[in-house]
Structure 1
Amino acid sequence: MEEESVETRGQSEVEKVMSEVHLGCPPGFSGPHISYFTFSIPQPGPGLIEPRSSNDVSQVEEATTSISTQQNISFDEDGDLILPRRKTKLSNQSYSVTIQHSITSTLPSVGLQVWRAELVLSDFLLHKMFTSSELDGVVSLELGAGTGLVGILLARVAKTVFITDQGNEILDNCAKNVELNPELISPGTTVYVRELDWMNPWPPRLTIEESSLGKTKRYSWTFSEIEIAHEASLLVAADVIYSDDLTDAFFSTLERLMSLGSEKVLFLALEKRYNFSLHDLDVVANGYLHFRSYLQSGGDCEGLKCGPMPCFVGKCIDITEIPQYLKEYVRGSDVEIWEIKYSKRKF
């Protein structure tokens, strides 16, 4: 019996993974942890816009009462992160985002962690918010949301935000993070946490009887929500490219979403992950190469004319031109952001 216990524990340890964002945090703790990510709104100037509304100022002031950094990290008796409070209030142009997450997880539950591509995508979207009004009032859909950080930030300017992932544990954590950040959600913005399993066809099947009788699970879609999602103009995803099977399922779902309703654009952030390949006798990023196989480059598909069949058109964004608004992470050089569109035209 003891040998079985040791073997089971060893298998469990092998399956555990840790995001680089959490390096320095003791991996032995279990259960949810709280971290605070801070970002500052740049002062209005050339290329920058004023805060979206007078509400932003009051929301910022409320948010800054709990600003923390990840320096001098310590833990309480329950293993929760204790981050030092600033003794003085920060500028009224700063926010704090409170995120509940795990420090380690099994591969099927990696959405419980904060990943670097998620933070880079947050920087990118924050930059759009601060330098233009193109995201104001949009309907957005986050795919593979994980902790929901990106969707929560979008709720500052969007009309409707769908935060989607798969599995109750991850979705419960998303819902908790929405609850932890009410000051970041603009008045009038609706945020839905919904299950979207890429292995199942889109749209989700929901009978009229189930909808009318309210026999739906907490994270199930309604007919009206599906209709709203079809009119989304903005799709976002971060760190969803790490398994070829999931990448295939992701693009299958993406094709359905982007071929229905209004024209959509996807901003996808990913981190290249390298492994030694016996086939190539070299260190390669096979998951990244599989992802790239789905895309035509913008140059090859001028005007989205991809030939007789629909296709995905991708353009890599130069993130060196994107300021780092979130301060508590190291960006690195292996993260990319792709702007992806879908051509429904046939020639």
Structure 2
Amino acid sequence: MKNREEIIEATKSGKTSTQTYYKINETAARRANDANSRYDYNPGSATAEYSNYIDKAIAIAERQKKRVDPMYHQKIDSLLDIYARKLAENMNKGYEIAGRVPSILIAGGSNFPTRKKENQNAAADRNMEEYREIQSLLDKIRSTGMGGISADDPQAIEKLQIKLAGLEKSQETMKAVNAYYRKHKTLDGCPHLLPEQIEKLKADMSSQWHLEDKPFASWALSNNNANIRRIKARIENLTRKEKFAFVGWEFDGGKVEINREENRLQVFFEGKPDPDTRAELKSGGFRWAPSAGAWQRQLTDNAFLAADTINAIAPLTGIKPTELQRKARRRKLEEMK
């Protein structure tokens, strides 16, 4: 990007985080100040405000890295950089909008361009809506690595495979421990458990709720096995999805694109769609994303089924979106032969 600066080393409390700070348009910030304030602009104040935002975001990211497995650190860094870039773009756009029409206190009431001011206010409202969405990225940073594994995660398959390996190891351990107990009628000396684990299992077996004469109850093995099957199915589904040859299309007044990185099917209009079209999009599960400038939903087969029903985004070719995907997959299969 043209407004990307050199990487700055930000040292906080003895810890060093490397994060790119993006350039703030000081000229636009000064113009916005002069159009809305009687006070002189303090040079560099807009950049300082932006840097303060980013410093706080870095602190949030560093705290989250300490809480989660290192496998999530790259995602946290990626979210942090997206936040830094989009915030700079949003602030610069805000200054540009604010400088379009001077305040009535500055310009005076005579021949004040009311219509231009209304357009300016509408643009400022849209920019503020985007600002709120950008701030929500901080919540994504705070939650990274704390919940389940999302299909949106580019490392989803790798993480699921790690989780599967852990479940399979647990299953084998439970079976081996039960077999040892069945043979020896004691857990003492069991090679599959640590001493503290043996003592914990003994305590569990002596409790009233432990009804079966074995360390690990049948339901525990059954539930774990069900989780193994579920994780295997998710891995298979995501692996198959990665091989899909999704394709976008053009429609009258815009285009549909595949965003693999964000795992989204995105609809871009040349202008603002009419209320009926917006209602169709919403009923089809599409939501407006100001940061992307697109209507979008998660990239799944259901997204294309929904697109089939939205007349406003029908492909110019006359072929339904789902059929376009089938043709693309057939072509890819032919290429793989």
TM-score over 0.5 for the alignment?
A: no
Normalized per residue, the structure richer in strand is 1
Give the structure-2-normalised TM-score. Answer: 0.23
Looking at secondary structure, tell me which structure has more helix per residue. Answer: 2
Q: TM-score, normalised by structure 1?
A: 0.23
Which structure would you say has the larger Rg? 2
